[in-house]
Amino acid sequence: MTELRVSDLTVTYDQKTILDVPHASFECGRIYGIIGPSGSGKSTLLRVINLLTQPASGHLHFFGVDVHLPSLSHREGLSLQRQMGFVPQKPSMFHSSVFDNVAQGLRYRKLPRETIRIRVEDALEKVDLTHAANQMANTLSGGEMQRIALARAMVYEPVLLLLDEPTASLDPSNVAIFERVIQSIHAMHKTTILMVTHNLAQAKRLTHACLFVHKGRILEASDTEPFFHSPETQEVQDFMAGRMIY
């Protein structure tokens, strides 16, 4: 495996282009922050990569596999999608226990029962929810449900983990747990991680490189340190300073 890459990517709604990415690449085993104003297309980029949104044009190079996104059927994309984990900002819970929520995807994959038990227990331990394994998932707090969603994504041992503002509504305690788990996943498996975040301090702590998305375009991409300390574009400089950008 070498890299994840998108090329000639456009997404349109009602004849309006909301995402236009001629080229973007992500090296295997790195953590990337995707940053920019609200409504700039960051979440759409994640959804396209996760094969949840079908673009008007574009190709995806998924660590050695090339696909033409507009013509890709759900059936054809399923094998790729099963190699990804996705955590949305507001996850939905199945009406079942915490354990069953995390185990559900592994059961669909028909893994042996003992393998499922080991993986789920390990995932729940990582997100500090072992004590809640038998509770109904929808009775837990929002922060705990977000940690269930992370456990549910990581239990597959995906090669690509996509995080869409996963800590936006969490208190500092849950944010700390979430960040610790992300670092643990990366250290253990060298998982490639793409994370949309408005938390600039979080991006500095966790990422190796960052992209700045504005009006559907990637305006700047670089390693994290130069991205924050010597941004090249005026838009990124203004964003870092808390100024409005247009």
Structure confidence at residue 74 (pLDDT): 86
What pTM was estimated for this model as a whole? 0.93
Structure tokens at 130: 């072992």
CA-CA distance, 221 to 21, in Å (whole number)?
Answer: 12
Structure tokens at 140: 């837990």
Q: CB 175: neighbour CB atoms within 10 A?
A: 18
Task: List the domains of the chain with CATH numbers.
Answer: 1-79+161-246 (3.40.50.300), 84-157 (no CATH)
CA-CA distance, 19 to 41, in Å (whole number)?
Answer: 6
The answer to whether residue 1 scores a pLDDT higher than 80 is: no
Contact in structure between 190 and 160 (CB atoms under 8 Å) = no
Mean pLDDT for 106-118 is 93
Q: Which residue has the higher pLDDT, 21 or 90?
A: 21
- Tell me what the pLDDT averaged over the chain comes to: 93
Query: Nearest to residue 185, comparing CAs of 167, 158, 214, 205?
Result: 158
Mean pLDDT for 162-176 is 91
The answer to whether residue 4 scores a pLDDT higher than 90 is: yes
The answer to whether residue 148 scores a pLDDT higher than 90 is: yes
Q: CB 220: neighbour CB atoms within 10 A?
A: 20
Structure confidence at residue 76 (pLDDT): 87
Mean pLDDT for 158-163 is 96
* pLDDT tens digits for range 42-68: 999 999 999 999 999 999 999 999 999
CA-CA distance, 135 to 178, in Å (whole number)?
Answer: 20
